[in-house]
Amino acid sequence: MVLSRDIELDLETALIPDQSTPTQQNCSPTQRAWIEINETALRQNVKAIKQSLSPQTSLMAVVKADAYGHGAVNVAQTVLEAGGEALAVATLQEGIELRQAQIQAPILILGAIHTVEEIQALVKWNLEPTLCSLQQASVFGETLQTLQTSLPVHLKLDTGMSRLGVLWKDVVPFVRCVQKFPQLEIKSIYSHLATADEKNDTFMEVQRERFESAIAQLNSIGFTPPCFHLANSAATLRDPNCHYDLVRVGLALYGLSPSPHLASVSPLQPVLEVKARITQIKELPAGAGVSYGHQFITEKPTPIAVIGIGYADGVPRNLSNHLEVLLHGKKVPQIGAITMDQLMLDISNCEQVQPGDIVTLIGKQGEHTITANDWAQKLGTISWEILCSFKHRLPRIFTT
């Protein structure tokens, strides 16, 4: 059984950089908008998280979704150099991208994989899948028997997330099903927490108790896998009892707290800044409508600046007339509807503004800081969504 050439090409060439892939380059003086990634802050976040762990607990960096919009390859390399031991991604293609960049660390695929062609690709690229059902385990075992090869696998338990995984109370038949196939090497057993970022949460403890019950069931049959893991970013910051052998950290790596009440637990620094340039300045008379639908009408003569970034770049249109940005160290209001490629600012409180001046949408200027959390609160969403929304036509510029 061999991987068909068509599928092989799909899996490998789909990741060749094109116009949809974020470039990594120095920012030119004429670049309209870009994202800056501070590698020093990223390293310091890794150090801070590692210091909160016991020497027996490893750090797995979650770099799915292009490292939450930060650039997966560079982030993975930096985290591993700073002390991370393993990586996690959501899809097979994300794992292949890291292997094509010559990254050799263990890579866990968090999403479910089922097809023979995908299993063959896992073997080829030395990637470690998640098994989340008995049926899936049988498909893997039979395929690997045919291929006459083995593969490290991670078994997922559902302790209350109600997403992927076998129910925790069925862990023994799950393990026995996997053990029928010697080609499946059980590398870890893990679960995922649903409410760890909630302030007054008690269900996290319920999930931990269920996980402990699964461990006890395995002990009763004399089986102990090399690794147990349960903690996401929130549980890593919140409760050492959830650390086990490994923690899977995503958002905290990027310098954002999963919840406001955890913000003071560890000295994290935001890694990402979003910047754009002023492309035009003009003076509007009183009574002028601004942008589509004239959602904003000037009450007096108003100087405005046009900025070369919009919702096609990941600035949510629902922030229209609610967004503030930083210009010359001051907070400046955005006015009118945010458009696909541009937005407008009221620069009445700024002096000597010129085309080409840099505006910070997320990040720090002077004494002011705007974070993805600030945007999320205004929109009634979460910072994860904000970070993952920045489009690939914004170059990622890596700084120190």
Q: Are 354 and 278 in contact, with CB atoms under 8 Å apart? A: yes
Q: Which of 67, 16, 10, 96 is CA-nearest to residue 396?
A: 67
pLDDT tens figures, 264-302: 777 899 999 999 999 999 999 999 999 999 999 999 999
Identify the three-state secondary structure at position 222: coil
User: What pLDDT score does 31 carry?
Assistant: 85
Indicate the residue type of 69: G
Q: Are 307 and 359 in contact, with CB atoms under 8 Å apart? A: yes
User: What pLDDT score does 262 carry?
Assistant: 81
Residue 263 lies in a domain: no
Are 187 and 316 part of one and the same domain?
no
The yes-or-no verdict on residue 164 having pLDDT over 60 is yes
292 belongs to the catalytic site: yes
Pick the catalytic residue from 50, 64, 156, 275: 64
All residues at 6 or more sequence positions from 102 whose CB lies less than 8 Å from its CB, including other chains: none
Residue 360 lies in a domain: yes
Are 148 and 284 part of one and the same domain?
no
Residue 72 lies in a domain: yes
Q: Are 139 and 118 in contact, with CB atoms under 8 Å apart? A: no
Residue 24 lies in a domain: no
pLDDT tens figures, 381-397: 999 999 999 999 999 99
Which of 24-33, 48-57, 226-235, 239-248 shows the lowest per-residue confidence on average (mean pLDDT)? 24-33
User: What pLDDT score does 24 carry?
Assistant: 47
Average pLDDT over residues 241-248: 98
Identify the three-state secondary structure at position 226: coil
Question: How many whole angstroms separate alpha carbon 251 and alpha carbon 230?
Answer: 16
Are 166 and 304 part of one and the same domain?
no
User: What pLDDT score does 30 carry?
Assistant: 56
Confidence of residue 334 (pLDDT cuts 50, 70, 90): very high
Average pLDDT over residues 308-336: 98
The label of the residue with tokens 């919840």 reads 259
Domain boundary among 229, 257, 285: 257
Q: The tokens of 342 are what?
A: 């541009």
Q: How far is CA 397 from CA 33, 101, 252, 382, 400, in A?
A: 11, 18, 20, 24, 10
Are 305 and 364 part of one and the same domain?
yes
Are 238 and 300 part of one and the same domain?
no
**Burial class (CB within 10 angstroms; exposed 0-12, middle 13-18, buried 19+) of 381:** middle
Are 80 and 152 part of one and the same domain?
yes
Residue 297 lies in a domain: yes
User: What pLDDT score does 265 carry?
Assistant: 72
- Across 226-236, b (16+ Cβ under 10 Å) vs e yields ebbbbbbbbbb
**Burial class (CB within 10 angstroms; exposed 0-12, middle 13-18, buried 19+) of 8:** middle
**Burial class (CB within 10 angstroms; exposed 0-12, middle 13-18, buried 19+) of 354:** exposed
User: What pLDDT score does 13 carry?
Assistant: 42
Question: How many whole angstroms separate alpha carbon 338 and alpha carbon 332?
Answer: 15
Identify the three-state secondary structure at position 108: strand
Q: The tokens of 206 are what?
A: 């319920």
* Bridge partner residues of 155 (DSSP): 131, 189
Q: How far is CA 387 from CA 19, 59, 276, 291, 315, in A?
A: 20, 22, 16, 26, 10
Residue 8 lies in a domain: no
User: What pLDDT score does 263 carry?
Assistant: 75
Confidence of residue 261 (pLDDT cuts 50, 70, 90): confident
The label of the residue with tokens 């338990």 reads 157
Tally of CA atoms within 13 A in the half-sphere of 49 that contains its CB: 38
Are 166 and 290 part of one and the same domain?
no
Pick the catalytic residue from 47, 180, 282, 292: 292
Are 250 and 285 part of one and the same domain?
no
Range of the domain at 331: 272-370
Residue 44 lies in a domain: yes
- How many domains does one find in the chain? 2
User: What pLDDT score does 259 carry?
Assistant: 85
- Tell whether 210 is in a known binding site: no
Question: How many whole angstroms separate alpha carbon 250 and alpha carbon 89?
Answer: 10
pLDDT tens figures, 351-369: 999 999 999 999 999 999 9
- Tell whether 340 is in a known binding site: yes
Question: How many whole angstroms separate alpha carbon 33 and alpha carbon 41?
Answer: 21
Residue 16 lies in a domain: no
pLDDT tens figures, 17-65: 333 344 444 444 458 999 999 999 999 999 999 999 999 999 999 999 9
What sign for the dihedral angle of Cα 48, 53, 56, 62? negative
User: What pLDDT score does 238 carry?
Assistant: 94
Are 253 and 285 part of one and the same domain?
no
Question: How many whole angstroms separate alpha carbon 172 and alpha carbon 86?
Answer: 27
254 belongs to the catalytic site: no
CATH number for the domain that contains residue 90: 3.20.20.10
